[in-house]
Structure 1
Amino acid sequence: MPEVKLTAEVRTEFGKGAARRIRRADKVPAVLYGHGTDPIHITLPGHETLLALRTNNALLSIDVDGTSQLALPKQVQRDPIKHTIEHVDLVLVRRGELVTVDVAILVEGEAAPDTLVVVDHNSIPVEADATAIPTQIVISIEGLAPGTQILAKDIQLPEGATLGMDPEALVINITGAPTAAEVEAELAEAEAEAGIEPTIAEGDEVPEEGDGETGTGEAADAAEQS
């Protein structure tokens, strides 16, 4: 994974007011820590940081006062509406150091016809060199038949990377797609459990009010004639 270089400034102001002023200046408040060192509060360039963190587990080279240090994003806080970055926690790493990170899974291809693909894990923990973290792991499901299961141990990892989870964990499950009748039956059962009245389909006969054993309709006709 290539390093992304960012130039940081040491931050001396703290609190919500200071953070707002930093963001208005198109910068991002951040903290850099790890390896037993005291946390360093910094500001990062807003646009460059946003671009860098579009890649999962981006390896950052942070220049602080002329000294560069490698870091990985530990926690990224984003504005839920603007999608801008509010704050970043960065953890220091060294070349050759093994780190465990969650790597996203990308499913490619199409399973056999009339199948349903269930992804139990969208990412898996992987231990790798801090400078060789995979950005994603591609799994092909092309032509896989119902009943096929892909376990964690079946995933081919990049050279030098090792699995950080139970090797028997189910990651992807290929099952037979339910028929329309099965879907309708499950829906009817769920509606019944929720107390929802069944919907009357177009063309079905709707019983008229008063039709039944009470004779209400005949009493109404008699009243009209009188």
Structure 2
Amino acid sequence: MTLPQHLVPSLADAAPGGRVQVEGDEAHHAVVVRRLRVGERLQLTDGVGRVALGTVEETAKRAFTVVVEEIREVAEPRPRVTVVQALPKGDRGELAVEVLTEVGVATIVPWAAERSVAVWRGERAAKSLAKWQATAREAAKQARRAWHPQVPPMATTDDVLALIAGADVAIVLHEEAVEPIGALALPDDGDLLVVVGPEGGLTEAEVAAFVGAGAVSVRLGTEVLRTSTAGVAAVSALLSRTGRWS
């Protein structure tokens, strides 16, 4: 059984034999909700590749101290995957973020597609982004990820075009595409980008713009998936053909 994981701001000064104190909401949830106890072994991570394994020495309501036994440096998984996720309705956005995090996506970019029903504006935009970021953080801890995903502010279509231009391989999921996702040639390194449209589908103009920027329009199969699950299906299909899953 893998050890439970907790996120800390930094492990830069952590070393075997030393101590790391975890404070705030992270510690409160561990001690009060999860009932963390003295003597329990766990792992801490800073979310950018450094992991400390250790034993709980002391607990309080909003703090606990860990004696470090081992430090591990984990290389960032390659190829690196970014998913541009069109805003789904309701809580399906958090579902998409959760499963994309669990499968190993490095960056999840919220995007307001032309046919997106959900709208992020003003205070709602800040709250919705915070929900996505919190969901990614908790899912990453559950998945024991050493590298936690980034969830940047909502992108415009122009932002997505720039991401496509900078990727080594970029795909757009589209039910009318001719090329299957399994026909793509994939690198063992570099940056992969997947664009997932909204419930109402991508417009012809969006698909044309993305393809013009360098993306390949692909289909997953004969079925049409929900926007909240299409991304994880596509990323799984891609990673199964790379060194990350072999």
Richer in strand (by share): 1
Rg larger in structure: 1
TM-score (norm 1): 0.25
Richer in helix (by share): 2
